[in-house]
Amino acid sequence: MKSMCCPTGGSWSDVSCATSCTSAREINDIQEAAGRASGSLRLAWVVLIFALLIVGCGKTTPPAAKPKASGNKIAEQLAAAPQQASTTKGNASTVRRPRVSPDDRARFDEIPETESEFDFNFGANSGDYAFQGGGSFSAPGKNESREGLSGSKIVERVTSLLRDSVDYGPTLAVWVIDESKSARGLVQTIGSMIQQPYSGLKSDVDPKRFLTAVCTFGGQVHFPVDSPSPDPSSLVTAINSMPNDPTGKEMVFTAIGEAIKKYSHFRTAERREVMFFIVTDESGDDQNLVDSLIEEPRRNATPIYVIGVPAPFGRVAALDPSVENASDKTSIRQGPESRYREHIELGFWGGMNDFRMMDSGFGPFALEKLCRGTSGRYIAVRPATSGYSFAGAMVSEWPSSGVWQPDPTVMQKYAPDYTTEAEYQKILQGNAACMALHEAAKVDAVEFTQLPEVTFRKENEPQLASDLARAQQLAAKLEPGVNRLYDALEKGESGRAKLTSPRWQAAYDVAMGRAAAAKSRVDGYNVMLAELKRGKNFERETSNTWELATAETTDATSALKKLGEKAKMYLERVVKEHPGTPWAKLAERELQTPFGWKWTER
């Protein structure tokens, strides 16, 4: 048999030949593998080069342009003040708004409005103290919302904004400060805390890089630091020498308007960064000027910040008038948070005052609108609270630790309509429910400070009839006011289904529900007394006294039963659809007291 030969010419049966052939075969295998690997590598290079060519065909990203000396950093860092953020222990994270080119921003007629700064990011873990008004402080603590926003943290926020501005370019800080007695504690707190960090803003290289101007106001406007000063201590000096205004008037918007006219050329002619800081605890007696003040600072990219107090929910005043001037009973205006009151003045049954005074979650309407319209912020000083409100119709300090505060993240979608007067009127005219609530808010307050008589001992028929007639007199006094509220709101029921704004939905529902509950109680009380007057026999021979006890509904008539059911429907809808809001708190409180009556005997 002929032996097969290997590629080397030998025989496979030859050991040496087999060995050499095996080696040759391995070499061939290695060469083939290397060839395949080389091919794969070449293919990888081709793919990579092709990908680079594709990417290179796109638009190149230019290098970041250096800021122009004449630009406005407010359009960048200053206008990009932090949004509301969740609190983390030892560190408050923030989210900044997108930066806008100064040149582009100057060309826009409409600057996006910002949100109110009620972030509650500061407090318990930092050892700070929360401002309570009147110059007093209390240690912060956890509450249903968040910790309070202290004066020291506000100063930290303000100086941080100013430091960014000074680092960017020449800056002018214009301070507009309230001279009133009620604002004295707030002003002095800010003044004492800002002294050291504010002095650190002065530039050793260029003394005029950072300037300060100070305007103060009460019934009149003053400029204690008229010509902008390069000395940061001029701010604290002006605060310490500021007189108490005796007029009880706060012409804050007049003062802002005069300051804008006086210092706007530092922005337009000198291209200097200009920032306004308003310090006040009131909403102002000249709020009608706000719409006319927004356009110029908006056009010039000049933000306006307000350090103030939150607006009391649905109310014009929170502080008792005596806080300002014992001889003047004029209310101290600190609200409302909306252009007009969108809240009825209706007490709780039995005169209970809990949750009558609440934090709205926003600043006074006109000041908040001014901040939003100029890309500034309304920074509200707030103490920490227990989460329960025991404040009555008026308080001696505002904000107060005894006042319930809403969670700012919840309130974001319940912002008031920051529109012009004409636009607000269109809202009212466009929906019956809105107009009904607007009109009901004008109705005089209805209070239930005196509980009606509910115990009737029967000695004889004439005596019982006399006692019942006397009890009905109280109900007769309450009935007209309650009916005015209910009738005004009932006119808006046809427009309720068309409401799309969560704020208007919650506001109308809680008002309608509370008015219906009040009417159910008052009307039901009258009906039950009339029923007893007509004659009613005891079921037990030993009984001699009738007790009128509360019940879910009054079953004496079908109309009263339906009225109670309507009240419950509106109030429960508020609790379900708007949890964590002031309207839900009012609804929850109202639902604690039944709307109807029933007779019991003993």
Supply the pLDDT for residue 395. Answer: 55
Considering only residues 571 and 108, tell me which one the structure prediction assigns the higher pLDDT. 571
Reported as type and span, the H/E element at residue 524 is: helix 502-533
Supply the pLDDT for residue 106. Answer: 38
Indicate whether 176 pLDDT > 70.
Answer: yes
Q: What percent of the chain has pLDDT over 70?
A: 70
Q: What percent of the chain has pLDDT over 90?
A: 56
Supply the pLDDT for residue 330. Answer: 61
Query: How far is residue 572's CA from residue 510's CA, in Å, rounded to a whole number?
Result: 9
Report, as an integer, the average pLDDT of 370-399. 73
Report, as an integer, the average pLDDT of 498-517. 98
Supply the pLDDT for residue 70. Answer: 37
Name the DSSP class of 204.
S
Q: What is the pLDDT of residues 425-480, one digit of tens each?
A: 999 999 999 999 999 999 999 988 878 899 999 999 999 999 999 999 888 899 99
Supply the pLDDT for residue 17. Answer: 39
Indicate whether 66 pLDDT > 70.
Answer: no
Report, as an integer, the average pLDDT of 405-419. 92
Supply the pLDDT for residue 153. Answer: 79
SS3 (DSSP) at 415: coil
Name the class of domain 73-83+100-411.
Answer: alpha beta
Any idea which of 64-73, 155-164, 295-304, 347-356 has the lowest mean pLDDT? 64-73
Report, as an integer, the average pLDDT of 516-530. 94
Q: What is the pLDDT of residues 249-293, one digit of tens each?
A: 899 999 999 999 999 999 999 999 999 999 999 999 999 999 999
Residue 171's pLDDT band, with cuts at 50, 70 and 90, is: very high
Indicate whether 327 pLDDT > 60.
Answer: no
Supply the pLDDT for residue 325. Answer: 55
Residue 144's pLDDT band, with cuts at 50, 70 and 90, is: very low
Q: Is the pTM of this model over 0.85?
A: no
Indicate whether 136 pLDDT > 80.
Answer: no
Residue 45's pLDDT band, with cuts at 50, 70 and 90, is: low
Q: Which tokens sit at 373?
A: 């319209």
Supply the pLDDT for residue 44. Answer: 52
Indicate whether 541 pLDDT > 70.
Answer: yes
Residue 401's pLDDT band, with cuts at 50, 70 and 90, is: confident
Considering only residues 317 and 401, tell me which one the structure prediction assigns the higher pLDDT. 317
Report, as an integer, the average pLDDT of 86-105. 35
Strand-pair partners of 395: 319
Indicate whether 142 pLDDT > 70.
Answer: no
Supply the pLDDT for residue 110. Answer: 37
Closest residue by Cα to residue 564 from 497, 496, 486:
486
Supply the pLDDT for residue 329. Answer: 54
- SS3 sequence, 12-79? CCCHHHHHHHHHHHHHHHHHHHHHHHHHHHHHHHHHHHHHHHHHHCCCCCCCCCCCCCCCCHHHCCCC
Mean pLDDT in the chain? 78
Q: Are 405 and 359 in contact (CB under 8 A)?
A: yes
Query: How far is residue 393's CA from residue 289's CA, in Å, rounded to a whole number?
Result: 29
Supply the pLDDT for residue 311. Answer: 94
Supply the pLDDT for residue 355. Answer: 74
Q: What is the pLDDT of residues 18-39, one digit of tens each?
A: 334 444 444 455 455 445 545 5
The CA–CA distances, whole Å, from 398 to 328, 342, 386, 394, 602 equal 19, 21, 15, 10, 48
Reported as type and span, the H/E element at residue 293 is: helix 290-293
Supply the pLDDT for residue 423. Answer: 96
Supply the pLDDT for residue 300. Answer: 95
* CB neighbour list of residue 46: distance below 8 Å, 6 or more residues apart: none
Indicate whether 602 pLDDT > 60.
Answer: yes
Q: Which tokens sit at 533?
A: 């007057």
Report, as an integer, the average pLDDT of 412-428. 96
Residue ranges in 308-431 assigned as alpha helix (H)? 365-373, 408-411, 421-430
Q: What is the pLDDT of residues 332-346, one digit of tens each?
A: 888 999 999 999 999
Supply the pLDDT for residue 522. Answer: 94
Q: What is the pLDDT of residues 216-234, one digit of tens each?
A: 999 999 999 999 999 999 9
Supply the pLDDT for residue 302. Answer: 96
Query: How far is residue 382's CA from residue 146's CA, in Å, rounded to a whole number?
Result: 10
